[in-house]
């Protein structure tokens, strides 16, 4: 494999059909040559993503999005060394479409196909644009996952804490739906909160006295529902105040549990602590502000991908694929072509299982 790798990435785990071309140089620096994202707009009437509709939309758009990514990168006549695709976790129909598209491209050009864990894409996403050496503490906050992990290298992850009920992004989405704000919930709640009074509602601080690094958002979500029911019918100011109060409570909860993990995080001698936040919820300004204040107080460095790389995108999938290609070499094409998509795929499972053990169902993430 050449020192410089040009790789096509494909992401279809939820309702974004995305493709990107990334070039990784021998010194580890990267260039994002294209990053195309088609966001489906067919789900608004249902208050959330409908898996069957999402899968059909991926079928209709995948080839078009890949073609646009290759055209923008100037790679329509070849030059792609490998193709990577999200192979789980996610909505199984969408994951299947992305994998089949990537497998067909790899097979037609006899180039490696690299299956990528969607969560690993988020875990490495800060390295798209930042100097982010290992190890670092990762707070992964997305629609389906809220986890704290120690990241020691590519494929080397140790989960420290996770949500015991709802993920942070799920809580934002359900709050938005409860208040009639529509989807996507995170941006809608943040927009409403801009004119709200975050001190009006004394919402609970989950797991205050519980040891460890786990999260919980179910009780906070219930408190929002009870506040809304007590005030119904809600005025615009009521909605803004509830959103601001909810957002503040969520940010404080995330910061408090992260602080515990930072306190216990073993930093190598001569190094400094680094906190990376990734996933769609990392784009929330209130959460970023709370974590910025936290790392400043601890003397750590906060690394956050640009907003367009926090949400689901294919550039992060291409990067993860390129990193594995460099670290492990090209896997046999016949072997990776035989792999099945995985609805569940924990990031911190045995690396051998990550690469070769993909069955129709994985362990619960």
Q: Are residues 116 and 217 in the same domain?
A: no
Checking if the pLDDT of 308 tops 80, the result is yes
Q: In this predicted model, what pLDDT tens digit does every residue of 164-188 receive, in sequence order?
A: 999 999 999 999 999 999 888 899 9
365 occurs within a structural domain: no
- Has 313 been labeled as part of a binding site? no
pTM for the whole structure: 0.90
Q: Cα(149)–Cα(140) distance, rounded to whole angstroms? A: 8
- Has 142 been labeled as part of a binding site? yes
- Has 58 been labeled as part of a binding site? no
Q: In this predicted model, what pLDDT tens digit does every residue of 103-160 receive, in sequence order?
A: 999 999 999 999 999 999 999 999 999 999 999 999 999 888 899 999 999 999 999 9
Q: Are residues 138 and 120 in the same domain?
A: no
pLDDT of residue 285: 93
93 occurs within a structural domain: yes
- Has 296 been labeled as part of a binding site? no
Ramachandran bin of 110, using left for φ above 0, alpha for ψ from -120 to 50, beta for the remaining angles: left
Q: What is the CATH number of the domain that holds 37?
A: 3.30.420.40
Q: What angle do CA 325, 14, 95 make, to 5 degrees?
A: 50
Checking if the pLDDT of 58 tops 60, the result is yes
Q: Which of 4-8, 280-284, 347-351 has the lowest mean pLDDT?
A: 347-351
- Has 140 been labeled as part of a binding site? yes
- Going from the C-alpha of 282 to that of each of 18, 20, 273, 323, 363, the distances in angstroms are 19, 21, 19, 23, 26
Q: In this predicted model, what pLDDT tens digit does every residue of 197-230 receive, in sequence order?
A: 999 999 998 998 899 999 999 999 999 999 999 9
Residues 29-42, mean pLDDT to the nearest whole number: 91
The residues, any chain, with a CB within 8 Å of residue 7's CB and separated by 6 or more, are 21, 22, 23, 24, 80, 81, 82, 83, 84, 114, 318, 321, 322, 325
- Give the residue numbers spanning the domain of 152: 131-304
- Has 231 been labeled as part of a binding site? no
Ramachandran bin of 136, using left for φ above 0, alpha for ψ from -120 to 50, beta for the remaining angles: beta
- Has 143 been labeled as part of a binding site? yes
- Has 186 been labeled as part of a binding site? yes
Q: Are residues 78 and 138 in the same domain?
A: no
């Amino acid at each position: 494999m050449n020192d410089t790798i040009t790789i096509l990435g494909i992401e279809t785990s939820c309702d974004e059909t995305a493709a990107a071309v990334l070039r990784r140089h021998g010194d580890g620096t990267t260039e994002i040559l294209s990053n195309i994202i088609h966001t489906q707009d067919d789900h608004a009437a249902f208050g959330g993503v409908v898996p069957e509709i999402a899968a059909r939309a991926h079928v209709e758009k995948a080839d078009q999005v890949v073609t646009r990514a290759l055209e923008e990168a100037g790679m329509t006549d070849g030059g792609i060394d490998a193709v990577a695709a999200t192979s789980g976790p996610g909505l199984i129909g969408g994951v299947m479409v992305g994998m089949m598209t990537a497998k067909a491209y790899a097979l037609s050009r006899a180039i490696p196909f690299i299956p990528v864990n969607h969560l690993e894409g988020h875990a490495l996403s800060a390295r798209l644009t930042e100097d982010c050496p290992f190890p670092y503490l990762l707070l992964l906050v997305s629609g389906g996952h809220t986890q704290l992990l120690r990241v020691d290298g590519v494929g080397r992850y140790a989960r420290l804490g996770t949500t015991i009920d709802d993920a942070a992004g799920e809580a934002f989405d359900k709050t938005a739906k409860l208040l009639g704000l529509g989807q996507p919930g995170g941006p809608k709640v943040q927009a409403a909160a801009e004119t709200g009074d975050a001190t009006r509602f004394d919402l609970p601080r989950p797991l205050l006295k519980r040891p460890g690094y786990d999260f919980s958002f179910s009780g906070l979500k219930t408190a929002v529902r009870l506040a809304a029911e007590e005030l119904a019918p809600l005025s615009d100011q009521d909605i803004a105040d509830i959103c601001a109060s909810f957002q503040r409570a969520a940010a404080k909860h995330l910061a408090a549990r992260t602080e515990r993990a930072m306190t216990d995080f073993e930093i190598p001698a001569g190094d400094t602590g680094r906190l990376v936040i990734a996933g769609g919820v990392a784009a929330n300004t209130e959460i970023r502000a709370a974590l910025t204040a936290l790392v400043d107080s601890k003397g750590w460095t906060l690394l956050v991908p640009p907003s367009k790389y926090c949400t689901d995108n294919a550039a992060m999938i291409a990067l993860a694929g390129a990193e594995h290609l460099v670290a492990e070499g090209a896997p046999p094409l016949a072997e990776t072509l035989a792999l099945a998509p995985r609805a569940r795929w924990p990031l911190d499972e045995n690396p051998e299982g990550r690469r070769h053990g993909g069955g129709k169902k994985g362990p619960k993430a």
